[in-house]
Amino acid sequence: MEKSRRIGLQEAIAALRTELIESVVAAHEERLRFEVGEITMEFQVEIERNIEASGGLKFYVVELGTSGMQKDKNVHKVVIPLKPIRADGKPILTGSDEVPE
Q: Please indicate, yes or no, if residue 49 is contained in any of the structural domains.
A: yes
* pLDDT of 68 above 60: no
Q: Please indicate, yes or no, if residue 91 is contained in any of the structural domains.
A: no
Q: Please indicate, yes or no, if residue 100 is contained in any of the structural domains.
A: no
pLDDT, tens only, 34-62: 888 999 988 888 887 777 766 677 888 88
Q: Please indicate, yes or no, if residue 41 is contained in any of the structural domains.
A: yes
What is the number of alpha carbons within 13 Å of residue 88 lying toward its C-beta? 6
Q: Please indicate, yes or no, if residue 95 is contained in any of the structural domains.
A: no
| Domains: count for the chain | 1
Q: Please indicate, yes or no, if residue 98 is contained in any of the structural domains.
A: no
Q: What is the pLDDT, as a whole number, of residue 73?
A: 62
Q: What range does the domain containing 12 cover? A: 3-82
Q: Please indicate, yes or no, if residue 42 is contained in any of the structural domains.
A: yes
